[in-house]
Each structure stands twice: as structure tokens, then as C-alpha cells.
Amino acid sequence: MKMRRITRPPVRRKHGPDVVTSTVTKMEPSVGSITWQKLTWVNIERPTEEETKYLAENYPFHTLDLDDCLSKIQMPKIDEYEDYFFMVFHFPVFNLQAGVTTPSQVSVFVGEHYLITLHQGDLKPLVSLFKTCQTNEKAREENMGRSPGYLLYIILDRLVSYCLPILFKIGDNIEEVEDRIFGENPRGTVASVAVLRRDIISFRRIIKPQTEAVETLEQKEWPIFKEDPEIYFGDIADHLRKIRDTLEDYKEVVEGLSDTNNALTSFRLNEVIRVLTIISTIMLPLTLIASILGMNIYPMPVDSPAVFAGIIIAMVGIIGGMLFFFRSRRWI
């Protein structure tokens, strides 16, 4: 993950004067604003062109950055300007309809006295944190009383922690599938293993570039951040690295379960085929005898009870002999 420094001049607009009081305003249906001392947090859910137009009129943001906020194909990145930073992050959200973990984008503008977040409203920790700061003065003081960099750390820390329940759920699903594979009813395990593998691959695609982006925050001094980035963002990067390593372990476990399931399925299939083959082989001479005796070409004394009993005994003897032969060859 390489951080780009962009020196092209942005639109010549200035942010409004600093506000030293605590205010909570609602400017648009999807735009909320909280101001505590000199820091303003603007939160926009499900941004549209109307919201980006509002940002263009009130902040010195470049048009390309505002367009990126509406795009669904942006990769995690950090763009540095003279007056602000623009960042894009992705976090996992489980899609119930698709049945798979999908990325949810968070775009962040960070200036000297403001922080702006744009997202789709499906990241519960971010939505909850903003609502808490709206209604709780103590929460505003704890989260917004230091600097935009510290507020960014709080947001990222909440969102990274939100990844852990999804990670633990995947671990529980792996254990459940493992029990089914080695249990008495292994039906449907192939599909379950495939779903697990898809979830892990999707999760890894989200976490890997995300880790690189946060490591960029960790490794450089940022003029608008008052805190030591190596300590705060280093902690987040460490959590992301642990999640990434855990996903790598899960990937290996699922691959091993897939191989084991394939081997057990082949073994069970071979067992079934072996039993059916033995039954068919044993029935073949009996069918031949019954077919010969059932023909009406020549008169045969099968109407006699003694002859019929002898035929049955002969068939049983054939069955016993064939079973003895199979057993001696260790086929059964």
C-alpha cells in the first residue's frame, strides 16, 4: 500500500471559523454534524451527488475525491493534500441475501479541525458511535476532545473490533463442519466446505489491502495528528495482522477439511460399491440356476419337495462357498 501525495491545488474554499462550543446539528436527512470545542465531525450515510455537492460548497475537497466517495470499486488508499487527507477503507459486512461476507466502504476526509465520514450505514459500530456522541456529552468529550487523528483512531478501532465477531463466527462454522465430516451424517458437507472457503477468501480480500493502508498510517508522521501514530495506528495494524494470520490459518484448516472430506467420501463410496458388488456377484450364480430351472424346454423334477429343498441347499452352499472365498482373499 503506497500513500500518494497530491500537490495539485484544490478548489479555493476555506473551512468556516472554529467553533468552541458543543453543538449537534442535522443539516440533511443523511447528513449529521457534531461540533465539540474546535473539532467538527460530519457523518453522511448513503451519500449521493447532493451530499457531495454540499461538501464541495463548504470544504476544499477535490472533485475526484468526491467522485470516489460515490464509487463502489475503490481500493483502500490514502491521498495527502496540503489542507486535508482523503482515505478509503473497507470493512466486512455479512450479506444475508448472498450468504457471504462483502466489503463496505468508508470514505474519510480529515482536516485540521474536522473529520468527515461517508458510508452506506451498514457498519453498526460507526453508526452507533456517531449517535452516542450526538446524545452523550461525555462521549463527545472522550472521543472528540483531543484531535481529528484521535477520533479517526477511535472509529477505526471500533470498526476493526467489529471484524472479530465475524471472524469468530467463521471459526465456529469450521468446527461445526468438522464435526459433521467425522460424524454419522456427513451429507451436505461438500457445500458447507465450499461456503466456508468462499467466506474466508472474501474476508481475506478485504483485510489484506486494509492492513496495508493502516500500516501506512502507522509508519509516517502526520502534521494534523497530535498523537503518536506508531502507538495508536500501530495497535490497529497489529489487530489487522492478527486477523489476517487467523484467516490464513482458517484457509489451511478448510483446505485440510476439504481434502479429508473428499477422502472420506471416496472411502464411503468405495465401501458401498464393494458391498453392492459382492451382493451382485453372489446373486449371479443363483440367478443362473433359477433361470435354467425356470425354463420349460425339458421336463425337470422340480415339482418334488425333495428336489426343491436340494436346490435351495445347493444355493445356500454356493453362497457360503463364495463368502468363504471372498473372506480368504480378504475382500470382505
Rounded Cα distance between 92 and 167, Å, is 10
pLDDT at position 7 over 50: no
DSSP 265: H
Do 202 and 87 contact (CB within 8 A), yes or no? no
Domain boundary among 244, 265, 286: 265
Q: What is the pLDDT of residues 158-187, one digit of tens each?
A: 999 988 888 888 888 888 888 888 877 777
Task: For Cα atoms 115, 86, 129, give the angle at the middle one, nearest 5 degrees.
Answer: 35
Please choose, from the candidates 165, 162, 164, 78, the residue with its C-alpha nearest in 3D space to the C-alpha of residue 126.
162
- Please check whether residue 316 lies inside any domain of the structure: yes
Please indicate, yes or no, whether residues 101 and 203 belong to a single structural domain of this protein. yes
How many domains in the chain?
Answer: 2
pLDDT at position 94 over 90: no
pLDDT confidence of residue 117: 93
- Please check whether residue 47 lies inside any domain of the structure: yes
pLDDT confidence of residue 296: 65
pLDDT at position 93 over 80: yes
- Please check whether residue 272 lies inside any domain of the structure: no
Rounded Cα distance between 252 and 154, Å, is 33
Please indicate, yes or no, whether residues 133 and 221 belong to a single structural domain of this protein. yes
Q: What is the pLDDT of residues 103-159, one digit of tens each?
A: 888 999 998 888 999 988 888 999 999 999 888 888 888 888 888 888 988 999 999
Lowest mean pLDDT among 149-163, 166-180, 190-204, 221-235: 221-235
Q: What is the pLDDT of residues 250-284, one digit of tens each?
A: 999 988 888 888 888 888 888 888 888 888 888 88
- Please check whether residue 219 lies inside any domain of the structure: yes
Q: What percent of the chain has pLDDT over 70?
A: 86
Over range 184-208, report the average pLDDT.
Answer: 84
- Please check whether residue 173 lies inside any domain of the structure: no
Please indicate, yes or no, whether residues 183 and 43 belong to a single structural domain of this protein. yes
Please indicate, yes or no, whether residues 109 and 233 belong to a single structural domain of this protein. yes
pLDDT confidence of residue 298: 62
Do 251 and 172 contact (CB within 8 A), yes or no? no
Give the domain extent around 308.
Answer: 295-332
pLDDT confidence of residue 25: 52
Rounded Cα distance between 6 and 219, Å, is 18
Please indicate, yes or no, whether residues 256 and 316 belong to a single structural domain of this protein. no
Q: What percent of the chain has pLDDT over 90?
A: 8
pLDDT confidence of residue 15: 43
pLDDT confidence of residue 301: 61
pTM greater than the 0.85 cutoff: no
pLDDT confidence of residue 294: 72
Helix axes 148-181, 124-135, angle to 10 degrees: 140
Please indicate, yes or no, whether residues 87 and 221 belong to a single structural domain of this protein. yes
pLDDT at position 330 over 80: no
Q: Which H, E and C letters describe 41-107, residue by residue?
A: EEEEECCCHHHHHHHHHHCCCCHHHHHHHHCCCCCCEEEECCCCEEEEEEEEEEECCCCEEEEEEEE
- Please check whether residue 277 lies inside any domain of the structure: no
Please indicate, yes or no, whether residues 305 and 253 belong to a single structural domain of this protein. no
Give the burial class of 148: count Cβ atoms within 10 A of its Cβ; 0-12 exposed, 13-18 middle, 19 or more buried.
buried
Domain boundary among 246, 265, 284: 265
CA–chain centroid gap for 179, Å, is 21
Please indicate, yes or no, whether residues 314 and 196 belong to a single structural domain of this protein. no
Domain boundary among 265, 284, 316: 265
Please indicate, yes or no, whether residues 221 and 322 belong to a single structural domain of this protein. no
Q: What is the pLDDT of residues 291-326, one digit of tens each?
A: 777 776 666 666 677 777 887 888 888 888 888 887
Please indicate, yes or no, whether residues 105 and 245 belong to a single structural domain of this protein. yes
Please indicate, yes or no, whether residues 106 and 187 belong to a single structural domain of this protein. yes
- Please check whether residue 51 lies inside any domain of the structure: yes
Residue 108, SS3 per DSSP: strand
pLDDT at position 28 over 50: no
Which CATH number goes with the domain that contains 223?
A: 3.30.460.20
Please indicate, yes or no, whether residues 59 and 104 belong to a single structural domain of this protein. yes
Contact residues for 226 (Cβ-Cβ < 8 A; gap 6+): 146, 147, 149, 150
- Please check whether residue 288 lies inside any domain of the structure: no
The residue type of 326 is F
How confident is the prediction for the chain on average, in pLDDT? 80
Over range 201-212, report the average pLDDT.
Answer: 86
